[in-house]
Each structure stands twice: as structure tokens, then as C-alpha cells.
């Protein structure tokens, strides 16, 4: 495992966001969901797609708080521009489980 400095870690801007819109992404090579996530006044609503269909539906994501990296460059995924990277970890079968706060937190809060 490569070590990084604390200063390197602090360059990664991880924020709490709330999913405000979600829909299927049938054009993706692997099953995915498109999400629009509100990160508060400073950042606003950003969009992303994620291969999370094993555990989540678009309807079930609305209102959910998630953690995402907000300072990566935007990335084209098929016909969709992904602006943030939502965080998740694989379960025992390798399917992604989203990372989010276990209590309600202010939208846009930065991870420390």
C-alpha cells in the first residue's frame, strides 16, 4: 500500500450531498444509475453515474445522503458527463454499497 502525506489527503475534497434526482442509465455498458446530488450553496447540484443497481433503485436514492469527491475533473461516461465520484465499498459479492453519514448532516459538509 502506497503511503500519502496528510497534505495529499487534504487535497481530496469529500463532501456530503443529498440525492435530489435519480434515473436509470440504460446507455451505460454495465447497469448504472444517474444521480443529481445537491452539495449546498457553495457547490450546488452535481451529477454522476454509479454501478449500484444491485442494492439501489433510482426511487430509493431520492433524499439519501451520500459522500462524494467533488474536486475531480468531470468525466464523460457514454452520453453522460459525470461531475463527482460517489464513494462506496464492495460487499461480499463485489456489489457496491454507498458510503454516507449514519446521522443527518448539513448538505455540503466536508469530510475531516
**Is residue 2, in this structure, part of any structural domain at all?**
no
Residue 1 pLDDT > 90, yes or no?
A: no
Q: What is the mean pLDDT of residues 57-86?
A: 96
Range of the domain at 74: 14-98
**Is residue 9, in this structure, part of any structural domain at all?**
no
**b/e per residue 76-89 (b: at least 16 CB within 10 A):** ebeebebbbbbbbe
> How many folded domains does the chain comprise?
1
Q: What is the DSSP pairing of strand 85-86 with strand 65-69?
A: antiparallel
Q: Give the residue from 65, 70, 81 showing the smallest Cα distance to 11.
A: 70
Q: What are phi and psi of 93, to 5 degrees?
A: -95, 5
pLDDT number for residue 34: 98
Q: What is the CATH number of the domain that holds 42?
A: 2.40.50.140
Residue 94 pLDDT > 90, yes or no?
A: yes
Amino acid at each position: 500500500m502506497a503511503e500519502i502525506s496528510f497534505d495529499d489527503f487534504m487535497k481530496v475534497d469529500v463532501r456530503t450531498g443529498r440525492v435530489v434526482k435519480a434515473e436509470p442509465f440504460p446507455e451505460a455498458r454495465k447497469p448504472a444509475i444517474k444521480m443529481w446530488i445537491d452539495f449546498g450553496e457553495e457547490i450546488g447540484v452535481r451529477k454522476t453515474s454509479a454501478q449500484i443497481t444491485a442494492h439501489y433503485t433510482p426511487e430509493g436514492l431520492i433524499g439519501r445522503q451520500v459522500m462524494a469527491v467533488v474536486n475531480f475533473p468531470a468525466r464523460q461516461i457514454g452520453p453522460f458527463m459525470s461531475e463527482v465520484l460517489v464513494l462506496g465499498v464492495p460487499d461480499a459479492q463485489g456489489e457496491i454499497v454507498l458510503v454516507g453519514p449514519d446521522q443527518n448532516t448539513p448538505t455540503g459538509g466536508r469530510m475531516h
